């Protein structure tokens, strides 16, 4: 499979999709011309309607991909979402609210279609919620459950869970749980699953069953019964499969 799973779209002081642009270009190279965009997670970019938010989202992403030499077209304009996935050269799944993204993917019956296409070699890119969507479930998202999807099951392109935007920090005066504690809650009832804490400005890239960490930071590995530990860029992640 060909996967590019990005923790976040924007760093403070940078343009939208600024930091991962070179990775996106290197990932796609000249293998595709058009990329099917799935904007369903973008629910709050407009004051008028969710569909208008998707229009705004599409324009925002299209401007970046055009600069890289690719055309973006959004699935929400397609009359048949399943057919659109089947005909896609590559897919990009944007960030936002993971629950709404999963709700729409189930509603449009495209989860199994995406998985089937990716398993034949189609390139899949996702950032934030789009990275969560590649996991077996969306249970390690950071997002508020603003809508109830038919299932928490996601596309299942990888056998482990990602927690994007992972933070180690515990702000002064904050009495709630840390991100690590939340992940440990998940592991208490999902004991056979690895969770990858993917820090911002970091991504996972997979080609031909080899997965690599790229970007600026190490990632953090969580597994029930084990002390969390760091994996640095260049170290093997084969144990996740």
The CA distance from 37 to 108, in Å, is 14
Please count the helices (runs of H) and the strands (runs of E) in the chain.
7, 11
User: What order do you get walking across the sheet with 210-215 strand by strand?
Assistant: 71-74, 34-38, 90-93, 123-127, 2-6, 202-207, 210-215
**Which one is catalytic: 9, 53, 131, 143?**
143
The CA distance from 204 to 213, in Å, is 5
Which secondary-structure segment (H or E) carries 203? strand 202-207
User: What order do you get walking across the sheet with 195-198 strand by strand?
Assistant: 161-164, 195-198, 219-222, 229-231
Cα atoms in the 13 Å half-sphere on the side-chain side of 233: 9
**Which one is catalytic: 7, 53, 128, 202?**
128
**Which one is catalytic: 165, 170, 207, 217?**
165
Q: Confirm whether 26 is a catalytic residue.
A: no
Q: Confirm whether 165 is a catalytic residue.
A: yes
Q: Confirm whether 151 is a catalytic residue.
A: no
Give, as one character, the DSSP assignment of residue 70: -
Give, as one character, the DSSP assignment of residue 175: -
The SS3 of residue 11 is coil
Active site residues: 128, 143, 165
């Amino acid at each position: 499979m060909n996967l590019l799973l990005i923790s976040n779209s924007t760093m403070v002081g940078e343009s939208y999709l600024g930091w991962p642009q070179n990775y996106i270009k290197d990932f796609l190279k000249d293998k595709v011309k058009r990329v099917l965009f799935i904007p369903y997670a973008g629910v709050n970019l407009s004051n008028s309607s969710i569909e208008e938010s998707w229009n705004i989202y599409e324009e925002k992403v299209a401007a970046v991909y055009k600069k890289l030499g690719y055309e973006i077209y959004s699935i929400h304009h397609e009359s048949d979402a399943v057919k659109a996935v089947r005909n896609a050269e590559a897919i990009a799944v944007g960030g936002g609210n993971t629950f709404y993204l999963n709700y729409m993917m189930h509603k449009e019956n495209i989860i199994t279609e995406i998985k089937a296409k990716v398993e034949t070699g189609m390139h899949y890119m996702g950032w934030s919620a789009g990275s969560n969507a590649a996991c077996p479930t969306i249970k390690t998202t950071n997002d508020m459950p603003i809508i109830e999807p038919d299932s928490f099951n996601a596309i299942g392109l990888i056998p482990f869970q990602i927690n994007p935007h992972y933070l180690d920090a515990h702000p002064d005066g904050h009495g709630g749980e840390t991100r690590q504690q939340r992940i440990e809650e998940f592991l208490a009832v999902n004991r056979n699953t690895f969770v990858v804490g993917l820090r911002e400005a970091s991504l996972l890239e997979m080609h031909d069953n080899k997965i690599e960490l790229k970007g600026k930071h190490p990632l953090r590995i969580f597994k029930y019964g084990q002390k969390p530990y760091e994996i640095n860029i260049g170290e093997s992640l084969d144990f996740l499969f």
